[in-house]
Amino acid sequence: MQPYIDFVMELDRLKAVTRKVKPTGLDRYENSAEHSWQIALLAAALAPLADAPVDIDRVIRMLLVHDIGEIDTGDTIVFAEGGWEERKAAEQAAVTRIFGHLPDGGGDGFLELWREFEAAETPEARFANAVDRAMPALLNLANEGQSWRENGISYARVVARIGPPIEAGCPALWAYMVPRLVEARDRGWFGA
């Protein structure tokens, strides 16, 4: 039993990894654990609107593990330039170590799920990536662009970075977001 306990106590550290956006109504930054919970449920609700039919249970498990590598590396804003490959290598080392606590070396296929999400090639991974990219923008749309303004992220950069993956995995979600992002730009909710 001890390996399972070691595993779950490692997971506890993801609650300390903070992101750039604040939950609505709270004066603190979101952490990657609560973020993972929220997008797993958003995906479950949105599943009928995925670009291609998906095994939603695999999507959910993928989203629950997708940020675990940050336990060692911390969160990196999706708009960061450079150093991406080194960071992903460090995250892969982290998940290999953390899932390695489990007797079968990877639990319920956790490591494979993490890799599948990163590759973003299967319908499940594309849909999971779409939901993951959309969520902070949805929070910013409810938050007067708090993290965009704080980090000097422009409208053009947001659209270029999150548009393609969201449209690829969940076109209806991107269609919903486009006019709202334009409206946010007109209201001055972006940086620089």
Segment near a copy of itself (CB under 8 A); pick from 37-45, 121-129, 154-162, 183-191: 37-45
- 181 in contact with a copy of itself (CB under 8 A): no
Q: Are 27 and 146 in contact (CB under 8 A)?
A: no
- 166 in contact with a copy of itself (CB under 8 A): no
- How far apart, in whole angstroms, are the C-alpha atoms of residue 128 and residue 62? 7
Listed residue (171, 62, 183) closest to 124, CA to CA:
62
SS3 assignment, position 106: coil
Binders of a copy of itself among residues 104 to 133 (CB under 8 A) are 107-108, 110
- How far apart, in whole angstroms, are the C-alpha atoms of residue 59 and residue 114? 11
Segment near a copy of itself (CB under 8 A); pick from 21-29, 75-83, 116-124, 182-190: 21-29
- CB-based contacts of 74: which residues, under 8 Å, 6+ apart? 17
- 56 in contact with a copy of itself (CB under 8 A): yes
Site for a copy of itself (CB under 8 A): which residue of 2, 81, 85, 179?
A: 2
Q: With left for phi above 0 and alpha for psi between -120 and 50, is residue 19 left, alpha or beta?
A: beta
- 24 in contact with a copy of itself (CB under 8 A): yes
Site for a copy of itself (CB under 8 A): which residue of 25, 81, 82, 179?
A: 25
Site for a copy of itself (CB under 8 A): which residue of 138, 153, 162, 168?
A: 138
Q: What burial class does residue 27 get, using C-beta atoms within 10 Å of its C-beta: 0-12 exposed, 13-18 middle, 19+ buried?
A: exposed
Smallest distance from the beta carbon of 177 to a copy of itself, in angstroms?
9
The first and second tokens of residue 155, run together, are 């409208």
| Contacts with a copy of itself, residue ranges (CB under 8 A) | 1-2, 4-5, 7-9, 11-16, 23-26, 30-31, 33-34, 36-38, 40-42, 44-47, 49, 56-57, 60-61, 64-65, 102, 107-108, 110, 135, 138-139, 142, 172-173, 175-176
